Chains A and B, each alone.
Chain A
């Protein structure tokens, strides 16, 4: 036990994840490129990005399921290249696809996890997890027969059963109804409050706003990180909110204009943004003055920022 602690960077590292230059390719195609990130203890860290952006690959590299092509770093103070056995003992990883045993009951699944992690009393550990999850009535039901929301609760329950210090959740709320999603996030916040660090990947914007800090990844590259406000401020995106008639035609005209970087409809309004306020103002001057639409200066939303970030990266690749 003492030996295990001695090998760590610090007794209780404040930075739970600290990686530099992680790169991973599959069949010559880079999936994650030169990714560096730091995650502090007790935070909920949102990992955002479109499908296929490298979120899952990054999570798998962090918990030892994939070996990075290059780069180095630590997870809970353990080296991600050489100490994956230790990392597995202290990290709970919830896979994107339900990966508990469908042909085992809820209780049997939990007892299996408890035994694999060498908990003293697997039966009691499973019992308390079942109570905590509110699964008393379903304890003997087969896991494969549970509904999506319950499967997700069970998967989270199995992850936190051994008391990990870090949770890696890969799109945990995909395909789950809004009520179950809210309950799930309440649970995550309770866990973080108790000192657990949570790294959660998602592509829901409302979930991003529930995180303490976020990182945005697209095409394998980390494009922005910080709090939601920091990320928005850092993007320097000047935005107008346009309301009125014929927004669809207006949008088509705006998209072709120089200085307008992003046009996106939001309900009955149109968000028009540009990276350079002077150029955006110059380009839209006539339209703003003539109408018939009403132009009002607005704040860029997180989604505006992400869509803009994505299109910028795409431009770089084109």
Chain B
């Protein structure tokens, strides 16, 4: 009886000692990676500058509701109605009237050459016909080769038509004023009432920047050891694959955390993007997302034969993350199969998490499905990496 208890205790002791020894080995790999990281100045610099420059560039550059679009007008009717219409377009801020075309051919050419995005033709006798009640038409030609860019402006133009002539249609011609709609259409643009793109883009950028940098850092880690010949030494030492993996991933978790902090700070200070929900929850879930990407990168690293291959695999993974996650295009606008692919990607879930917390004030309960998806994804990637890790040089 007592002997049995003794064996139990020694077994437990051995397990504790074994666990502590494993932690020491993970720590050994952690310190080693951190030191190597510090020595590699260029990598270190990119860690700071990639997130900042990308955020500044794209945060300011991407705007899906562009204003001040170059516009040309062809005015063949010198009436107060024409002037009012052009003035109203100016005031809407969507149109920047740069050129007055001299003929229809000229207007076509301006659009075709891409010098303007909109061409507006007010035909001859427009004012006269309007007063006569002949419903004259204003021709608006939009360059819709970028439909997103044109969308907001076209909508603004339609809205403008109902009110533009209210000042001109007075006295005898008042009957030509458009009838008021029998009801009022009131549209709420929730979470982003001004429809500002950056509120959507900046949290999304945080996800894409972290995906890119984290993937590449770990994707190179194992192949680099193989290419430099240090793998032979490492494999001849008593350190297990899972210990190597955790030791290699851990420093980048720290780096990723710093990057996320940097981006969040810039989002608040430069772009005025608020964090409506819990900052603590955002930090924890961001770390989970970082871990997911580090695991994928590490998995690639165990499969690739060279650093170049590892980079190619990273980009192969990165592209669908950008295109199918809902970062670039509305997730719900994609066909079912594309949405299914998107559901596998960590960025898709993180975008819901980060936009949810930052803009809508979502709580853990609201996000648990996405958190679970990220967690499962991470575990699967890590499991695959450990299974794939070549423990011999065979």
CA distance A104 to B25 in the complex (A): 17
Known contacts: A88-B236, A93-B236, A101-B230. The answer to whether A118 contacts B21 by CB under 8 A is yes
From B21, B27, B230, contact of A99 by CB (8 A): B230
CA distance A60 to B40 in the complex (A): 31
Whether A95 is near chain B, meaning CB under 8 Å from some CB there, is yes
Interface centre among B28, B229, B231, B236 (most CB of A within 10 A): B236
Whether B31 is near chain A, meaning CB under 8 Å from some CB there, is yes
Within the complex, what minimum Cβ distance (angstroms) separates A250 from chain B?
Answer: 47
A60 engages B229 (CB within 8 Å): no
Residues in A whose Cβ lies below 8 Å from that of B239: 116
Within the complex, what minimum Cβ distance (angstroms) separates B176 from chain A?
Answer: 80
Whether B179 is near chain A, meaning CB under 8 Å from some CB there, is no
Whether B269 is near chain A, meaning CB under 8 Å from some CB there, is no
Whether A263 is near chain B, meaning CB under 8 Å from some CB there, is no
Within the complex, what minimum Cβ distance (angstroms) separates B107 from chain A?
Answer: 64
From A95, A99, A115, contact of B25 by CB (8 A): A115
Known contacts: A98-B229, A108-B35. The answer to whether A65 contacts B392 by CB under 8 A is yes
Residues in B whose Cβ lies below 8 Å from that of A102: 228
CA distance A95 to B237 in the complex (A): 12
From A67, A98, A108, A117, contact of B238 by CB (8 A): A117
Residues in A whose Cβ lies below 8 Å from that of B145: none
Within 275-322 of B, Cβ neighbours of A (below 8 Å) are at none
Whether A66 is near chain B, meaning CB under 8 Å from some CB there, is yes
B238 engages A85 (CB within 8 Å): yes
Chain B proximity mask over A80-119: 1 for CB below 8 Å, otherwise 0: 0000010011010101011111111000100111011110
Within the complex, what minimum Cβ distance (angstroms) separates A134 from chain B?
Answer: 22
Known contacts: A104-B36, A116-B237. The answer to whether A64 contacts B392 by CB under 8 A is yes
B31 engages A115 (CB within 8 Å): yes
Residues in B whose Cβ lies below 8 Å from that of A101: 32, 36, 230
CA distance A64 to B391 in the complex (A): 9
B39 engages A100 (CB within 8 Å): no
B237 engages A67 (CB within 8 Å): no
Residues in A whose Cβ lies below 8 Å from that of B229: 95, 97-99
Within 198-238 of B, Cβ neighbours of A (below 8 Å) are at 228-233, 235-238
Residues in B whose Cβ lies below 8 Å from that of A67: 392, 394
Residues in B whose Cβ lies below 8 Å from that of A60: 393
Chain B proximity mask over A28-46: 1 for CB below 8 Å, otherwise 0: 0000000000000000000
B236 engages A63 (CB within 8 Å): yes
Residues in B whose Cβ lies below 8 Å from that of A97: 229, 232
CA distance A67 to B36 in the complex (A): 31
Residues in A whose Cβ lies below 8 Å from that of B236: 63-65, 88, 91, 93, 95
A103 engages B36 (CB within 8 Å): yes
From B27, B232, B394, contact of A115 by CB (8 A): B27
Whether B24 is near chain A, meaning CB under 8 Å from some CB there, is yes
CA distance A101 to B238 in the complex (A): 17
A66 engages B237 (CB within 8 Å): no
From B27, B233, B238, contact of A95 by CB (8 A): B233
Within the complex, what minimum Cβ distance (angstroms) separates A120 from chain B?
Answer: 10
A112 engages B31 (CB within 8 Å): yes
CA distance A98 to B28 in the complex (A): 20
Residues in A whose Cβ lies below 8 Å from that of B237: 88, 113, 116-117
Residues in B whose Cβ lies below 8 Å from that of A100: 230, 233
* B positions within 8 Å CB-CB of A: 21, 24-25, 27-29, 31-32, 35-36, 39-40, 228-233, 235-239, 392-394
Known: A65-B392, A98-B229, A101-B32. 12 other contacts (CB 8 A): A65-B393, A67-B392, A93-B236, A95-B232, A99-B228, A99-B230, A100-B230, A101-B230, A102-B228, A104-B36, A112-B31, A112-B32
Residue pairs across A and B with Cβ atoms less than 8 A apart, 7 shown, are A88-B236, A93-B233, A95-B232, A113-B237, A115-B25, A117-B237, A118-B24
